[in-house]
């Protein structure tokens, strides 16, 4: 490795100062982001649907469908509906392409009508002319992307009314799922209420099947239930339920004593629950709202995912108090920065000059990533501080690297997990001591890695990060492999 002789202590002091500066800067940004900004309700433009059937017999659908959408949204959300005539006047300046607006035109309509969400679409006769095909597009103007498409097909009779109702319900479901995921991603969801998932069974096989269905429920509820949900087993642990009480509740479940389960939960202050029964290849869910059982929902164990989703959404409505509404706010639909700060410990291995001549690598790491301007523009900064243990001919190596570049964070499982691949470039500096002398170095480096994060709370989590960097040097290049476990703060 090309080098110049410097004091080891001076280099170590420089790296400590560099690390402290990195952490202080990231923390300052986090504090600035915490100041909440005032927010208004989202402005929704529910537009008249295009009659592509070219038949006067269905002109009434043009207006009936937007009205049904508005009524369904008003029952679930607090929002501002934009003036229909104003929106229609603006939309009239732009042409529809296959019954829909191009994104550039949708952006202009939203800007000129001062709308945050556009809901538009069309309906047409199918190829055989005996059915009506309806299609709605939900466009998030703030984030500049479509957040949902809802389609339905109906015969040309009174069933059109039911299809319109299904369309309206589907639009509400898509908007709710997007808003809930966006709030979780920003770490702003309040734990409004607890929903406990309780399996009931008579045999060991039924118990296993019921527990599997609890996991399905947890995944689907992330899109339909604003609150917190625990399986009965998680409830035992979190609420420190005694073994005696656990056995009592398990006995009620085994004997399918629904009322006793409800009373037992109420003793712990829980009034919302799903009691899940698996029997004869069917799943039956009894929603319990405020301590009272509601209408049972049933689906087959091998039902299609979409069918299960609809059934669970229906059950979820039963445990949502009537009149309770979700506020749709402008900021929910903005493509705001989603910042992640990782601070942790690392370990790994370094190789110099294509030889296995460095000992075990230990140290600390910090990484800060943010999303700014465009969704794809996510700058990343990473610091690693090292101490490499003795291995002949190297007595030790102390130093670190500071690199910056771009990454992209993918959220999944209701924003409870995140995956961030990234590529960076920067500097690698330190001091290496061998049998002859202390050698200081300051060299360019390039690297790439991926971080996997699990959020244990809306703002807190842990991550596992794998990072590889190549230290560029004409005489003796180096390759460093590190893995880190870090505490994560999301803001």
Name residues whose C-beta falls within 8 Å of residue 311's C-beta, 6 or more positions apart in sequence: 285, 297, 298, 299, 303
pTM of structure: 0.52
Q: What is the tally of helices (H) and strands (E) in the chain?
A: 11, 23
Topology (CATH) of 43-187: Rossmann fold (3.40.50)
pLDDT at 225: 62
pLDDT at 28: 46
Kindly report, as residue ranges, where domains of CATH 3.40.50.10070 are found in the chain: 43-187
Mean pLDDT of 314-334: 74
Confidence grade of residue 220 (pLDDT, cut at 50, 70, 90): confident
Which three-class secondary structure string do you get for 413-480?
Answer: CCCCEEEEEEEEEEEEEEEEEECCCEEEEEEEEEEEEEEEEEECCCCEEEEEEEEEEEECCCCCCEEE
Best-predicted range by mean pLDDT (22-31, 370-379, 428-437, 477-486): 477-486
Mean pLDDT of the chain: 81
CATH class of 8-35+334-490: mainly beta
Confidence grade of residue 194 (pLDDT, cut at 50, 70, 90): low
pLDDT digits (tens, 9 = 90+) for 297-314: 888 888 888 788 788 878
Best-predicted range by mean pLDDT (186-190, 212-216, 268-272, 480-484): 480-484
Mean pLDDT of 189-197: 55
Residue with more model confidence, 312 or 25: 312
Query: What is the C-alpha separation between 233 and 217, in angstroms, rounded?
Result: 14
Mean pLDDT of 273-294: 83
For 124, 253, 277, 364, the CA distances from 207, given in Å and listed in that order, are: 48, 10, 9, 45
Least confident of 82-96, 382-396, 447-461: 382-396
pLDDT at 458: 67
Q: Which parts of 114-158 fold into alpha helices (H)?
A: none
> Is the per-residue pLDDT at 38 higher than 50?
no
Please give the share of the chain, as a percent, with pLDDT higher than 70.
Answer: 82
Confidence grade of residue 37 (pLDDT, cut at 50, 70, 90): very low
Query: What is the C-alpha separation between 28 and 47, in angstroms, rounded?
Result: 44
pLDDT at 421: 95
pLDDT digits (tens, 9 = 90+) for 364-423: 999 999 877 666 678 999 999 998 877 776 677 788 999 999 999 887 765 678 899 999
pLDDT at 206: 79
Please compute, for residue 463, the number of CA atoms within 13 A of its CA located in the half-sphere on the CB side: 33
pLDDT at 228: 66
pLDDT at 15: 53
pLDDT digits (tens, 9 = 90+) for 121-174: 999 999 998 999 999 999 998 878 888 899 999 999 999 999 999 999 889 888
Kindly report, as residue ranges, where domains of CATH 2.40.160.20 are found in the chain: 8-35+334-490
pLDDT at 172: 87
pLDDT at 321: 63
> Is the per-residue pLDDT at 486 higher than 70?
yes
Q: Quick check: 8 and 429 in contact, CB under 8 A? A: no
């Amino acid at each position: 490795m090309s080098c110049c002789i410097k004091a080891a202590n001076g280099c170590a002091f420089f790296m400590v100062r560099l690390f402290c500066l990195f952490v202080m800067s990231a923390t300052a940004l986090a504090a600035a982001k915490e100041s909440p900004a005032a927010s208004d309700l989202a402005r929704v433009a529910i537009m008249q649907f295009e009659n592509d059937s070219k038949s006067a017999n269905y002109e009434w659908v043009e207006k009936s469908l937007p009205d049904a959408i508005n009524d369904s949204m008003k029952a679930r959300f607090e929002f501002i509906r934009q003036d229909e005539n104003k929106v229609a006047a603006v939309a009239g300046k732009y042409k529809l392409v296959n019954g829909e607006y191009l994104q550039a035109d949708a952006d202009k309509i939203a800007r000129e009508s001062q709308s945050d969400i556009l809901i538009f679409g069309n309906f047409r006769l199918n190829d055989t002319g005996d059915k009506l095909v309806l299609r709605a597009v939900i466009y998030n103007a703030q984030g500049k992307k479509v957040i949902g498409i809802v389609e339905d097909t109906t015969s040309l009779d009174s069933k059109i009314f039911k299809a319109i109702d299904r369309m309206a319900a589907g639009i509400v479901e898509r908007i709710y799922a997007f808003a809930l995921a966006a709030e979780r991603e920003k770490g702003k969801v309040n734990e409004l209420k607890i929903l406990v998932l309780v399996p009931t069974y008579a045999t060991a096989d039924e118990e296993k099947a019921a527990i599997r269905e609890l996991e399905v429920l947890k995944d689907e509820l992330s899109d339909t239930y604003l609150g917190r949900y625990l399986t009965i087993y998680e409830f035992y642990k979190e609420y420190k339920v005694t073994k005696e009480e656990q056995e009592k509740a398990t006995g009620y479940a085994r004997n399918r004593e629904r009322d006793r389960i409800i009373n037992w939960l109420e003793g712990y202050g829980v009034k919302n629950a799903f009691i899940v029964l698996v029997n004869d290849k069917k799943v039956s869910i009894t929603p319990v709202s405020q301590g009272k059982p509601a209408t049972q929902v049933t689906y087959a164990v091998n039902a299609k995912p979409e069918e299960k989703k609809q059934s669970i959404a229906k059950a979820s409505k039963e445990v949502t108090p009537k009149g309770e509404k979700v506020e749709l706010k402008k900021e929910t639909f903005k493509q705001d920065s989603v910042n992640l700060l990782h601070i942790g410990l690392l370990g790994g291995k370094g190789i110099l000059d294509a030889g296995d001549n460095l000992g075990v690598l230990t140290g600390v790491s910090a990484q800060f990533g943010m999303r700014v301007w465009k969704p794809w523009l996510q700058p990343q900064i990473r610091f690693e501080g090292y101490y490499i243990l003795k291995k002949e001919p190297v007595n030790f190596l102390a130093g670190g690297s500071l690199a910056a570049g771009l990454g992209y964070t993918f959220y999944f499982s209701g924003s409870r997990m995140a995956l961030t691949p990234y590529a960076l470039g920067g500097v690698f500096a330190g001091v290496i001591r061998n049998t002859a002398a202390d050698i200081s170095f300051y060299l360019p480096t390039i690297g790439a890695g991926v971080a996997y994060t699990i959020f244990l709370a809306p703002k807190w989590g842990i991550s596992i990060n794998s990072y590889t960097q190549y230290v560029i040097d004409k005489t003796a290049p180096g390759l460093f492999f590190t893995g880190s476990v870090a505490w994560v703060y999301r803001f």
